Amino acid sequence: MARKQQSSMEFITTYGWAIIAIVVALGVLYSLGIFSFGSGAPTGCAVIEGFSCTKPILYSSGALTMQFGQIGTMKTITATGCSSNSTAPTGSNWLATSQTLQSGQTVNLTFNCPGVQSSKQLGAVYSGTLWLQYSSGTGGAAVTQQVAQINVPVSQYGNPLASLLYVA
């Protein structure tokens, strides 16, 4: 009888330690964010054909900076815009700029994305649409075009927009 009791205690102890180890491992994985699936959307920048964007950095002030490029005719970018939906930006969400972009060239552009200042903490993902106002070639007509969709985490404090001009 004593032998059966000892065997039962060893069985319970062995499996008890195994269950505790599994619970601890699951706790560690949960704390590392393995089970946090977020929005499911990948972060980054998805551009329309002919454009490229790399190294997007979103500041807590709403400023989004990135390297932006294009393949095609020369474009003179006069303003950059950002909106939280597919509607063109208005007012102070347009930033004046004067960048000439040759085919195959990249330039650093800054966009002013609305809603980041009041609602996003570091690490929170902002989803929006990037817009350009530009003219093609030499003396081409002005165009306003949606150029990219973004899902970018807020990764920096600060306001690099402090010295930039806004257009209405």
pLDDT digits over 88-133, tens only? Answer: 888 878 888 888 888 888 899 998 888 877 656 777 888 889 999 9
Is residue 161 in some structural domain? no
pLDDT at 167: 44
Does residue 86 share a domain with residue 30? Answer: no
The CB density around residue 153, as the number of other CB atoms within 10 Å, is 18
Is a pLDDT exceeding 60 seen at residue 38? no
HSE on the CB side for 111, CA within 13 Å?
Answer: 34
pLDDT in tens, 16-36: 999 999 999 988 887 776 665
pLDDT of residue 19: 93
Q: Which domain holds residue 15?
A: 1-36
How many domains does the structure of the chain reveal?
A: 2
Q: Is residue 89 part of a domain?
A: yes
Taking the model in full, what pTM does it have?
A: 0.65
Is 143 found in the same domain as 103? yes
* 162 part of a folded domain: no
Confirm whether 53 is domain-assigned.
yes
Query: Has residue 164 been placed in a domain?
Result: no
Assess whether 93 and 150 both reside in one domain.
yes
Shared domain check, 97 and 78: yes
Whether 102 maps to a domain, the answer reads yes
**What b/e sequence results for 119-137 when a residue is b if at least 16 CB atoms lie within 10 Å of its CB, and e otherwise?**
ebeeeebbebbbbbbbeee
64 and 142 co-located in one domain: yes
- Here the CATH number for the domain that contains residue 73 is 2.60.40
| Beta carbons within 10 angstroms of residue 17's beta carbon | 10
| Burial grade of 112 (CB within 10 A; 0-12, 13-18, 19 or more) | buried
Token pair in block for residue 23: 């619970």
165 pLDDT above the threshold of 60: no
Give the residues across from 132 on adjacent strands.
Answer: 80, 145
